Amino acid sequence: MAATTSRSKEIIHCDPDKCNGCEVCEYVCSWYHGGEINWKRSRIRAVKIEPIYSIAITCRKCDEPACKSACPRDAISQNAAGVIHVDKDKCNGCGWCVEACEFGVMKLQQDTRLAFCCDYCEGLDGPKCVELCPKEALSYASLDSIGFSSAVEAAASLIADNRNGSGGK
């Protein structure tokens, strides 16, 4: 069964037309969460599909998170906003949550072997990766909002094509 995300939950969305794979999102994340620039500690991943396609991905706030279900120690919980939390006292680093995540965004810290994923910069004033993306490829919005924006852009493109006489061809 594919993971689904409630359309009203805000998630970090990456526009692949704007993302150039610079990895600034990874560095910003590791800096704000660990005080160092280290992509291995980042909660967001810049994925490059050669030669020209790049996208950043992070926790999708699944309605029924596979990572949570897979944890044999009940170390993973999800708050009302959909943010995943790992109880460091319960997590034993087995990695089952990492294997279960359909998006590949659950990770294990190399030094502590504790699971972690994006917390959407809880306690800060919003996701720092979104704020500091130099290409403005990242947004923090609901799937409904993202879908509406995409529809508006598509409609504007069709109107422009018709005005230019190409008729969308």
- Note the pLDDT of residue 51: 76
Identity of residue 126: G
Determine the pLDDT at residue 53. Answer: 86
54 is written with which tokens? 């790049």
What span, in angstroms and rounded, lies between the C-alpha atoms of 76 and 126? 22
Residue 130 CA to residue 152 CA, distance in Å, equals 22
Helix ranges, the chain (H): 24-34, 66-70, 96-100, 128-132, 143-163
Name the residue among 87, 135, 121 with its Cα closest to residue 11: 121
| pLDDT means over runs of 10, the chain (169 residues) | 67 92 96 94 91 90 96 97 96 97 95 96 95 97 75 72 68
Looking at residue 52, what is its pLDDT?
A: 80
Nearest to 75 by CA among 52, 91, 58, 61: 91
Q: Which domains does the chain have, with CATH numbers?
A: 11-58+118-169 (3.30.70), 62-115 (3.30.70.20)
Give the span between the Cα atoms of 100 and 111, in whole angstroms.
21
How confident is the model at residue 97, as a pLDDT? 98
pLDDT score of 2 = 57
